[in-house]
Structure 1
C-alpha cells in the first residue's frame, strides 16, 4: 500500500493467473495455424476451424494453406508470399480471401513467421489470420462514396462546361443584338430624316382645305419625332454600352461624384433639396462612367417625376449588406404603381407617367449597368409618395 492510499487494494483472484495456454490458442480472437514450408497444415486453432466450417481431421495433414485461398490468392501466395518468407523470414498484413467449406469467402489479413532448424533450414511457418469483414465493408463504402463523388464531380464539370457554352452563346447573341440594333437604328435614321424634310416642304408648299388637316399634321409630326427619339435612344444605348465595356473598374469616391451630378442638375430644378450621406460606404467599385451614368439617371428621374404639389426632396446614401455595398436613392415624387408596372419596370422604352416627357431608357440603362457590374436593383415605391432605388454592388 502506498503512503497516499487510505484503503487496501482488493485481493487479486488467483484464478485470473491460471490461464490455460492451449485454451488461449484454440479460442483466440484470430485464426492461428502452422504449416510446413510447402504449405501442408500441421496445426489449426478452433477459431479458424469455426470460420471455415471444417473439422480438424479434414485439414491437418490433408490440405495446404494455399488450398484455403481463392485462386488469385493461391497464385499470389506461391509467387510472392512464400518467396518473401524464405528471403525475409516474415510477411505482414497481406490481404487474402479464405474459402469456406460451404463455398463462401472470408476476407482476412495474413501475418506469417518462418522458423528454421539449427542448421538454418526452413522448419515451420506460423500464420495468424485476422477477420477484416467489417474493414472490407468500410473500404467498399469508402470506394462507393468516392465513386459517387467522382461521378458528381464529373456531372458538375459537364454542367459547368454546358454553362460556359450557354454563356458564350448568350454573349454572342447579346453582341449580335446590339450590332443589329445599332445597324438598324443607323440605317433607319436617314430615311426618317428625309421624311421629316419632305413633310416640312409639303407643309410649306401645299394648302390643306380639310378642317381636320391641322390636327392630323400635328399627329404626324409627333409620330415622326417619336420615331426619331426611339432611333436616337437605341443608338445611344448601344453606343454607350460599347464605350463603357472598355473602361476598367476602380474605387470611385461617391461624395465628389454626387456633388458634380447635383451641380449639373440644379439649374433644372433650383428648389430641389439633396441630402448626401456616404459614411457607410464612401466608395463603390465600378467603372467611373458607368457609376456616373447610373447615378445621373436616378437623380434626373427623381427631379423629372417630382410631385408638382411639393418641393423635391432627394436623399442619396450608402449602407452595407451581406457582402454588398448598397447605394440608395430616395425621393418624394410621383411614385410608380409596382403591382401594375413592376414586371416591365426596367424594360426599354417603358414609360409610366405619359404626362411627363421622357424616352423610357433611364431605368433600362441603370439596370443594365448594375448587372454588368455584378449587382442587382431593388425598388420600393408608393404612388403619390415617392420611390426608393437600392443598388446592390459586390464589395
Structure 2
C-alpha cells in the first residue's frame, strides 16, 4: 500500500486520534499534579486563585476561565473579586457587577455543577434585563461549565466558570477533573484565608506590643519564640536575631531555668495561661530583676492555637518590699513570742512570792501590835495593793491563755448553751443588778468556733455590760446572731453608760485602756476579745452613744461551709 494511502487509512487515523487523546490526558494529569503542588505551597490568596484559574482553564481545554471569590478588606467588609485566564478583563465588561441570575444562582448558592454544550440554548439563559443574553462587547460563548467552590464548613467561597466559543468542548471527563480541582481549591482558599487572618492578627498584636512599656513577645504553638518587642532588646542588650528561639534564656537566672521550662511545657500541652515569676538580667547594670511573666493563647474560630502572646512585668521593687515585709513580720512574730514567754514566766514566777507576801501580811496582822492609828491605814493600803498585784498577775495569765488557745479545736457550738454557762459564772452580778439577758439567735443558733475562746469573748462583753451599767435604768444586755457574706455575726448590746468613740475610740482595744474609773477593772478584757477575733481572721465594729449604751458587732470568719452549719 502506498505511504500516502496508508497515512489516510481509517485505522491509522484512529490510532493517531487515540494517541492525541492520550497525550492530552497526560497533559491534563501533569497539570493536575501541578495544581496539587501549588495548592499546598501557595498561601497568598490573590496569587492562589489566579494560579487555580490558569491551570483549571488549561485542564478543561476552555478558551477562557474565571474564578469568582469573596475577600474581606481591612475594614471587615466583604467584596467579590475575580481572576481571568485566556482573556482580558476588557472582554468581560460588567463582570464586577455579576448578578445572581437563574443561570448563575446554582453555582453561587452551591447547588451543583452546570455543564452545557451550548449555553445559548439553555432555558435559563437570557432571561434577565437589560441584556437578555450576552452583554454588548462580551466574547461569544457556546460551551459553558460552572462549578461552586465550597469550604469544609459548607460555605460557598466562590465559583469556577469556563467557556469556549465552540460547542461541545467540555465532556464528563473534564467535569470530573475540575470537580476535584474545585474541592482542592476550596481547602487551599480556606487555608490561605486563615493564613492571612493569622498574619493580620500577628501584625496587629505586634503593633500593640510595640506600644506598651513591658517586655513583650510572641511564640508559635510549639513554644518557639518568634518575636520580641523593642523594649525587650533595650532591657536585655541582646542583638535582634539571636534572641529568637531558645537563646533568650541566656538572660534568665540559672536557678529559674528548670522550673520555667517545666511550667512552659505544661502550658503548651494544656493551652492554659502560662504564669511564673523569674529573674531576668538587665544589661544596664548586669543585675537580675524579678519579672512576672504571663502568656496566653490566641485561637482561631475552631479553637486551634495560632500563637502565644506573652509579657514580662518588672515586679522587682514589689518583690523586695514583700521580702522585707516578710522578714519584719517574722521579726515581729519572734518579738511577740518573746513577749508572750516573758508574760507567762512573769505571771507564773510572781504567783508564789505574792502568795508568800500575802501569808506574811496575814501573820503580821494577827500577831503584831501597832502603836499608831496610821498603822491600820497602812495595812489596808498594803492589802489593797497586794490584791491589785494579784489581779494584774491574773490578767497576764489570761493573755497567755489567749495566745495558747489560738489554735484550739473548732466545734459547732450552740450559742444559747454558751450564754447560759456565762450567766452561771456571772450569776451574782446579774442578781445584784436585777439585769436582763436577752437572746435572739434564730438566724444563727450554731457557731463554729473554739469553746474556750467563745466563752471568754461573751464573758468579757456581758460582764462589761453589767459593770458599766447606768444608774438610771435596769441593765439589759441583748445577744443576737446572723449569717453574713463570708462571716458569722454575733452582736452584744447593752443600755449602759456608753462611750465617746470619736474622742477615745482609737484606744478601745489597747491593753490596760479604761474609759470609766468609778468601777474596778484592768483594761484587759476588750484587748483579749479583739485579739481572739483577729487571730481567727475576723474583726469587730463598735457603736456607742454616751448615756445610751454600746453595741459590739463581732464578725467571725467562715471556717466551715455555710450549708453544713446547721446540719
The residue number in structure 2 matching 1:140 is: 210
- Per-residue deviation, 1:179: 0.4
**Cα distance in 1, alignment partners of residues 473 and 213 from structure 2:** 73
**Cα distance in 2, alignment partners of residues 293 and 175 from structure 1:** 22
- Indicate if the aligned counterparts of 2:406 and 2:532 stay in contact, CA closer than 8 A: no
| Structure 2 unpaired stretches of 5+ | 1-99, 103-127, 139-191, 217-231, 233-290, 293-311, 559-567
Q: 1:144 and 1:205, CA in 2 relative to 1: closer, same or farther beyond 3 A?
A: same
The residue number in structure 2 matching 1:225 is: 387
The residue number in structure 2 matching 1:70 is: none
The residue number in structure 2 matching 1:257 is: 418
**Cα distance in 2, alignment partners of residues 164 and 238 from structure 1:** 25
TM-score normalised by structure 2 residue count: 0.43
**Cα distance in 2, alignment partners of residues 10 and 227 from structure 1:** 116
The residue number in structure 2 matching 1:389 is: 552
**Cα distance in 1, alignment partners of residues 460 and 451 from structure 2:** 14
User: CA-atom RMSD, angstroms?
Assistant: 3.9
The residue number in structure 2 matching 1:182 is: 344
The residue number in structure 1 matching 2:378 is: 216
- Per-residue deviation, 1:387: 0.9
- Indicate if the aligned counterparts of 2:498 and 2:547 stay in contact, CA closer than 8 A: yes
- Indicate if the aligned counterparts of 1:266 and 1:272 stay in contact, CA closer than 8 A: no
Deviations 1:309-337 (A, max 9, x none): 32111111123444322211001112233
- Indicate if the aligned counterparts of 1:254 and 1:284 stay in contact, CA closer than 8 A: yes
The residue number in structure 2 matching 1:335 is: 498
**1:1-395 equivalences in 2 (<5 Å):** 136-141=206-211, 144=214, 146=216, 149=292, 150-242=312-404, 244-270=405-431, 271-395=434-558
**Cα distance in 2, alignment partners of residues 371 and 280 from structure 1:** 23
- Indicate if the aligned counterparts of 1:286 and 1:373 stay in contact, CA closer than 8 A: no
Deviations 1:86-120 (A, max 9, x none): xxxxxxx9xxxxxxxxxxxxxxx9xxxxxxxxxxx
**Cα distance in 1, alignment partners of residues 478 and 130 from structure 2:** 85
**Cα distance in 2, alignment partners of residues 9 and 309 from structure 1:** 105
**Cα distance in 1, alignment partners of residues 423 and 357 from structure 2:** 39
- Per-residue deviation, 1:153: 4.6
Deviations 1:250-290 (A, max 9, x none): 44332332233334434531332222112333333322221
Q: Which stretch shows the higher mean deviation, 365-374 or 314-323?
A: 314-323
- Indicate if the aligned counterparts of 1:347 and 1:364 stay in contact, CA closer than 8 A: yes
Aligned residues: 283
SS, match of residue 245 in structure 1: coil
**Cα distance in 1, alignment partners of residues 543 and 531 from structure 2:** 19
**Cα distance in 2, alignment partners of residues 10 and 273 from structure 1:** 102
TM-score normalised by structure 1 residue count: 0.60
- Indicate if the aligned counterparts of 2:402 and 2:528 stay in contact, CA closer than 8 A: no
The residue number in structure 1 matching 2:254 is: none
**Cα distance in 2, alignment partners of residues 168 and 211 from structure 1:** 57
Q: 1:153 and 1:250, CA in 2 relative to 1: closer, same or farther beyond 3 A?
A: farther
